[in-house]
Amino acid sequence: MTKILVIEDELFIRENIVDCLEAEDFEVFSTENGILAILWAQENIPDLVISDVMMPEISGHEILAEMRDIPETELIPFIFLTAMADKDDIRHGMELGADDYLTKPFTRNELLNAVTSRLLKQAKLMKQYHDEQQKTKILEQKIKELEELQIKDKLSHEYEQALLKINTAINLVKKIQSKPEDSSTVSLTQRNLQTIKDTCAAEIAMIRQLPHLEAQLYSKNKMLSLILQS
């Protein structure tokens, strides 16, 4: 059920608004206390806030400014109720992030039209937001797969080159062994055996680096995720 927070210090107006909204099956919480309204909004996250501008303890503008600074409430649509049709007052509210104004006295239809319009707009924005989130996740996965593929291709190429080097050295050793042994063949054999030993050591080192490469890849993807979400 859609939750609406109503903040209005005049009891008669507040009760009329609540009656209109509840008749349309909205879940309504109402109060005359702006501080209480902010605390309730943080805990319950309403879908819409309707607030009077001029109130004794804390003004509607102050309530809006406070809510825009709280992550849980910063995106909630906000409709102001005002007895003043002052352009500067309306501009100030819009600069703070108000979504709409209703000038008192207003009719039931004007109230419901404003509420419906704001809720529909918010629903579209949230859909766009979730769609972009989904696109971001798909992009992250594609980039992760590409980076993994690039690492695999690089490792595959390095393994191939190493095996080729080992194979060449082994063949040379075989050829040398078929010749009469002298100081030159012994030296050549030792050099090729050393090549095999060094290449195998390099391969072992490469294998030991795999966990580090995976951690590095994870770190890159995590950083990318934070950048895309910002």
Higher pLDDT, 15 or 208: 15
- 118 is a domain residue: no
- In this structure, are 87 and 138 located in the same domain? no
pLDDT given for residue 108 in this prediction: 93
- 114 is a domain residue: no
Residue 30 near residue 18, CB atoms below 8 Å:
yes
- 153 is a domain residue: yes
- 188 is a domain residue: yes
pLDDT band at 94 (very low <50, low <70, confident <90, very high): low
3-state secondary structure of 47: coil
**Alpha-carbon gap, residue 53 to 100, rounded angstroms:** 12
How far is CA 110 from its chain centroid? 36
How many structural domains comprise the chain? 2
Mean residue pLDDT of the chain comes to 77
Question: Which structural domain range is residue 87 located in?
Answer: 3-106
Residue-wise pLDDT for 77-92, tens only, equals 999 988 766 666 666 6
pLDDT band at 224 (very low <50, low <70, confident <90, very high): very low
- 125 is a domain residue: no
**Alpha-carbon gap, residue 138 to 89, rounded angstroms:** 44
- In this structure, are 138 and 177 located in the same domain? yes
pLDDT of residue 230 exceeding 80, the answer is no
**Alpha-carbon gap, residue 20 to 69, rounded angstroms:** 30
Burial label for 113, CB within 10 Å (0-12, 13-18, 19+), is middle
- 178 is a domain residue: yes
Sheet strands side by side (includes 27-31): 27-31, 3-7, 48-52, 78-82, 100-103
- In this structure, are 146 and 73 located in the same domain? no
Residue-wise pLDDT for 23-80, tens only, equals 999 999 999 999 999 999 999 999 999 999 888 889 888 999 999 999 889 889 999 9
Please name every residue paired with 29 in a beta bridge, in sequence order, or none if there are none.
5
How far is CA 29 from its chain centroid? 30
- In this structure, are 63 and 144 located in the same domain? no
- In this structure, are 29 and 71 located in the same domain? yes
- In this structure, are 9 and 99 located in the same domain? yes
pLDDT band at 5 (very low <50, low <70, confident <90, very high): very high
- In this structure, are 100 and 137 located in the same domain? no
- 9 is a domain residue: yes
Residue-wise pLDDT for 172-202, tens only, equals 666 655 555 555 555 665 676 677 667 666 6
- In this structure, are 75 and 157 located in the same domain? no
- In this structure, are 137 and 221 located in the same domain? yes
- In this structure, are 78 and 142 located in the same domain? no
- In this structure, are 9 and 98 located in the same domain? yes
pLDDT of residue 227 exceeding 50, the answer is no
Q: Domain with 32 in it: what CATH number?
A: 3.40.50.2300
- In this structure, are 156 and 101 located in the same domain? no
pLDDT given for residue 54 in this prediction: 85
- 126 is a domain residue: no
Total Cβ atoms within 10 A of residue 53: 23
Higher pLDDT, 35 or 223: 35
Higher pLDDT, 222 or 62: 62
